[in-house]
Amino acid sequence: MSPLDSSDHLPRGGALRQSARPRTLGFALSLVILAIYCGFVLLVAYGKPLLGTEIVPGLSWGILLGALVIVVAWLLTLVYVTVSNKNSANR
Amino acid sequence: MTTLFSPLAATFLAAAPVISAEAQKAGIGKIGPTAITFFLLFIVLSLGITYWAARRTRTTSDFFVAGGGITAWQNGFALAGDFMSAASFLGIAGLVAKSGFDGLMYSTGFLVGWPLVLFLIAESLRAIGKYTFADVVAYRLRQKPVRIAAAFGTVAVVLFYLIAQMVGAGKLIQLLFGQSLSGYFPGHTYEAAIIIVGIIMMIYVLFGGMIATTWVQIIKAGLLLGGASLMAVLVLAKFGFNPLALFTEAAHQYNHPAVAAAGAVAAKPAVNVLGPGPLVSNPLDALSLGLSLMIGTAGLPHILMRFYTVPNPAQARKSAFYATGLIGFFYLLTFILGFGAMALVGQKQIVAVDKAYNMAAPMLAGVLGGEPMLGFIAAVAFATILAVVAGLTLSGASALSHDLWVNVVRGGEAPESEQLRVARYATVFFGVVAVALGLLFEDTNVAYMVGLAFAIAASANFPALLLSIFWRRFTTSGAVASMWVGALSAIGLIVISPAVWVDVLKHKEAIFPLRSPGLVTIPLSFVVAILVSLATPEAESRRQHDEALAELPTADLPLADQV
């Protein structure tokens, strides 16, 4: 159905098995991003004074951590893409 | 479009006094012929580009089959274009302008769903070889009941998404043409604006069937990112390109300690715009909102199929990485735009134009670059709203015609021409319902509305999607029960929540205290799915799941050793 390039093409491969290794990594990284974001949300819910504290004038923990959540989420996708694309190329 | 707009424009330009009353009250300078001219110019221009782009690719069914030809970068832009709606741009900028950090909950929440989609869903989706949400859930289950339930969830998500776009577009038209409209419809400019928007949307969808193509989304993403970046640069230029100076200025203007009640003076709680504030005053509200935003992305019906437009899995992964980067950058810009509007436009001015702060971004554009800039940003927002509405309406209409009409009314089969006719009626139905709901939700922030669509997607769609991919013992009854319970409970709790029960229906107190239902309805949907599946074993479903897993000799894949 969807054309696969040679490095990812496994003849007569079971559909789900084909993605089995990215899956392990996917689960692990999902847990990481869940933990990071849930930690952030829990801080918003129960750590209001801390998040409102300014580290330097203008930069509160809330704004810093909020921006970091976005950046780290993006970096995690970079890790995932790099590792799983390398694996599928080596296979 | 040109022919549609020019007579309208002539009327408005002739009837429009130089300054609209609302804008004058707000003190954001003139909204006169210049802003309107720029608005119409850029609308026509972007619709022209869209039309040109749409001709480059053919239909959506075309790109399913082709499966290639699109690079990872292009697909990344298209994914971002599908996801970033102008409504969330208007809404988040407004929420940040209103209460600072609280609005950033939306910026982060909308973004963190992306890694989850990539890590858990997209990969398996490609592997199973199914394109749409309903296809994936139904691939090893009985088609008919699953498709009916999935269509209902899709329609519910689409409707809430549509309301947000309608309100955003209506407010834009009211901001620009309020004065001229009030000549014809005194006291009802918003109603008039919403109906005009509804008509334009239906024309756009019915006569421009080729809307949801990759190139249109790429251009949409480019326009939104370009407009938002330009504004952010102009804001930062006023603060020596130091965001911290901007945040400091906003805090300086609006932070104050708690004020105790004294005589006639009412008590005021302390305000700190750089930390969590009133929107998340209830901790459970913060949790519920965060959960819905994160999980909702993975349950959005129109995002998943994009992973097929690139030639191979490696490219698909890369495109998700690019999309996450673009969307993350866009949401980081909302930090600047929101605080910029707070500091440079002022809360009093913003709230005078729209109680829900939806017009903070265009008003900021007016302050930064005068009428031309205001017209430009309003046009970018309006054009992207049209593109999103078209995509949403089409996916809602196809769910109604292909899944509901064919399966419920016609018992499984109906000729193509009849489906097309039903899809047309469905489009009109969506237009009318969206206008009606847009009127009801006039004073609602549009990012909050989008958040509700995410909550429904997270409750109705995500549990069934995840379990269908990963859980061997998942059954048809489990999926159907989970989707119905998820959708209905989410909608029900939204209706009795403060946002609808109090703000729209004007009751004194809400029955359900949280403004977002996800904290209750997502776990509920999972529990129902699991319990019902365990109670109704389905051999065929297990067999097909095992088949998908078992065919390959394990020796081919040294699992997990390098991870």
Sequence-ordered list of residues with C-beta below 8 angstroms from that of B537, at least 6 positions apart, any chain: B473, B475
In a domain? residue B16: no
Cβ <8 Å between B549 and A17: yes
pLDDT in tens, B481-499: 999 999 999 999 999 998 8
Where residue A15 falls among pLDDT bands split at 50, 70, 90?
very low
Instruction: Quote the tokens at residue B232.
Output: 């952010």
ipTM reported for the complex, 2 dp = 0.84
Q: What's the structural domain count of chain B? A: 1
User: Quick one: how far is CA B124 from the chain centroid?
Assistant: 25
Which three-class secondary structure state does DSSP give residue B516?
coil
Decide if B197 contacts B170 (C-beta within 8 A): yes
So what's the pLDDT on residue A18?
Answer: 46
Per-position DSSP letters for B256-312, written without gaps between them: B--B--BTTBPPB--B-TTS--GGG-SHHHHHHHHHHHHHHGGG-TTTGGGGGSSSS
d(CA B337, CA B238): 12
Which three-class secondary structure state does DSSP give residue A55?
strand
pLDDT in tens, B342-384: 999 999 999 998 999 999 999 999 999 998 999 999 999 998 8
* Residue range(s) defining the domain that contains residue A75: 22-90
Q: Chain A 5-24, CB below 8 Å of chain B: which residues?
A: 5, 7-8, 10, 12-24
Decide if B562 contacts A87 (C-beta within 8 A): yes
In a domain? residue B251: yes
In a domain? residue B490: no
Res B63 pLDDT > 70: no
In a domain? residue A70: yes
Residue B283 touches partner A, C-beta closer than 8 Å = yes
Residue B21 or residue B338, greater confidence? B338
So what's the pLDDT on residue B131?
Answer: 67
In a domain? residue B34: no
Contacts of A19 in chain B (CB under 8 A): 123-124, 126-127, 313
Residue B215 or residue A53, greater confidence? A53
Range from B11-25, B88-102, B217-231 carrying the lowest mean pLDDT:
B11-25
d(CA B345, CA B3): 35
In a domain? residue A3: no
So what's the pLDDT on residue B10?
Answer: 42
Count Cβ atoms below 10 Å from residue B248 Cβ, excluding itself: 20
Q: What is the CATH number of the domain that holds B111?
A: 1.20.1730.10
The DSSP bridge pattern shows strands A54-56 and A59-60 to be antiparallel
In a domain? residue A38: yes
Which three-class secondary structure state does DSSP give residue B484?
helix
So what's the pLDDT on residue B534?
Answer: 96
In a domain? residue A1: no
In a domain? residue A74: yes
Helices (H), B84-188: 86-99, 101-116, 123-128, 133-138, 143-184
- How many Cα neighbours within 13 Å face the side chain of B135? 14
d(CA B330, CA A7): 34
Q: If you average pLDDT over every residue of chain A, what do you get?
A: 79
Q: What's the structural domain count of chain A? A: 1
In a domain? residue A85: yes
So what's the pLDDT on residue B309?
Answer: 65
Query: Who among A8, A14, A62 is closest to B313 (CB)?
Result: A8
**Adjacent-strand bridge partners of B271:** B256
In a domain? residue B548: no
Decide if B522 contacts B463 (C-beta within 8 A): yes
In a domain? residue B1: no
Decide if B141 contacts B479 (C-beta within 8 A): yes
Cβ <8 Å between B124 and A85: no
* Residue range(s) defining the domain that contains residue B233: 57-255+300-448
In a domain? residue B341: yes
Res B2 pLDDT > 80: no
So what's the pLDDT on residue B560?
Answer: 34
Contacts of A14 in chain B (CB under 8 A): 547-552
In a domain? residue A43: yes
